[in-house]
């Protein structure tokens, strides 16, 4: 996984602040591959069924991570428990690493 301990800590902390302690965050995509170079930070966030204001919370998390991690490409994919899974959700679950 190509994230520093500091980056992992910030992502976990800020995800919990924006979405609550029940949110699970996984890193997926090229940053999971230690042999790759570059690439954006792809985050998959699994939320409980009672989650609300998901888009607004995602934008808040995005802005906070840009400030704390420095300007870089970050993609945030969310899934609320009980909703249908899209192909991106299945891919993130299959290949992602829980932070």
**What confidence tens digit (pLDDT) does each residue in 49-96 have?**
888 999 999 999 999 999 999 999 999 999 999 999 999 999 999 999
Segments making up each domain of the chain, as ranges = 5-98
Q: pTM for the whole thing?
A: 0.92
Specify the CATH class of 5-98 in words: alpha beta
Look at residue 28 in the predicted model and tell me its pLDDT.
Answer: 95
Q: What contacts 24+ positions apart, CB below 8 Å, involve 31-36?
A: 31/1, 31/2, 31/3, 32/1, 32/2, 32/95, 32/96, 32/97, 33/2, 34/1, 34/2, 36/2
* pLDDT at 20 (0 to 100): 95
pLDDT at 38: 75
**Residue 8: CB partners within 8 Å, gap ≥ 6?**
99
User: According to the model, what pLDDT value does residue 61 have?
Assistant: 98
Task: Note the pLDDT tens digit of each residue in 1-57.
Answer: 789 999 999 999 999 999 999 999 999 998 898 878 878 999 999 999 888 999 999
The pairing of beta strand 24-28 with beta strand 41-47 = antiparallel
Please, are residues 94 and 82 in contact by the beta-carbon 8 Å criterion?
A: no
């Amino acid at each position: 996984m190509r994230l520093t301990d500091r980056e992992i800590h910030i992502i976990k902390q800020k995800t919990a602040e924006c979405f609550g302690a029940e949110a699970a965050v996984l890193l997926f995509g090229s940053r999971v591959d230690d042999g790759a170079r570059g690439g954006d930070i792809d985050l998959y966030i699994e939320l409980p069924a009672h989650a609300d204001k998901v888009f607004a919370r995602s934008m808040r998390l995005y802005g906070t991570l840009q400030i704390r991690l420095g300007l870089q490409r970050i993609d945030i994919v969310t899934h609320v428990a009980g909703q249908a899974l899209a192909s991106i959700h299945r891919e993130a679950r299959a290949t992602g690493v829980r932070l």
